[in-house]
Amino acid sequence: MPRPPSVAFVGARSPLIEAVLTTASRAGGFTVHFVDGDTPPHEDGWRTPTWVLDPGLHPLDAGGKYDLAFDLIDRVLSILQQDVRVVLLSSNHVFAGERPLAPGAAARAPRSDYGRLLATLEDRVMGRGEHGLVLRRGRVLSAEDSLMMRWWNALKEGVAVIPPSQSACAPISVDTAAKALVAVLDRFGPEIFQVSAPDEITYLEIAQRMCGAMGLPEDRVLEAPPGAAAIDLKDPPPHVSLQTSPGLLETVPTPSDAVVRDILRTLAG
- Residue 75: give its domain's CATH number: 3.40.50.720
Indicate the pLDDT class of residue 243, thresholds 50, 70 and 90. Answer: very high
CB within 8 Å of 76: residues ≥ 6 apart = 10, 35, 51, 53
Indicate the pLDDT class of residue 87, thresholds 50, 70 and 90. Answer: very high
Greater model confidence, 43 or 27: 27
In the sheet with 31-35, reading across from the earlier edge strand, the strands are 31-35, 6-10, 50-53, 85-91, 132-137, 191-195
The count of domains in the chain is 1
Indicate the pLDDT class of residue 13, thresholds 50, 70 and 90. Answer: confident
What phi and psi, each to the nearest 5 degrees, are found at residue 87? -115, 120
Out of 131-135, 177-181, 220-224, pick the least confident. 220-224
- Residue 233 belongs to some domain of the structure: no
- Residue 64 belongs to some domain of the structure: yes
- Residue 147 belongs to some domain of the structure: no
- Residue 214 belongs to some domain of the structure: no
CB within 8 Å of 260: residues ≥ 6 apart = 141, 171, 201, 206, 209
Residue 198 pLDDT exceeds 50: yes
Residue 80 Cα distances to 35, 76, 191, 199, 245, angstroms: 13, 6, 19, 37, 28
86-103 mean pLDDT: 97
Amino acid at 263: I
- Residue 211 belongs to some domain of the structure: no
Indicate the pLDDT class of residue 237, thresholds 50, 70 and 90. Answer: confident
pLDDT of 228: 56
Residue spans of alpha helices (H) in 90-227: 113-126, 146-156, 174-185, 203-213
For 109, the domain range is 6-141+172-198+241-254
81-102 mean pLDDT: 95
- Residue 40 belongs to some domain of the structure: yes
- Residue 127 belongs to some domain of the structure: yes
- Residue 154 belongs to some domain of the structure: no
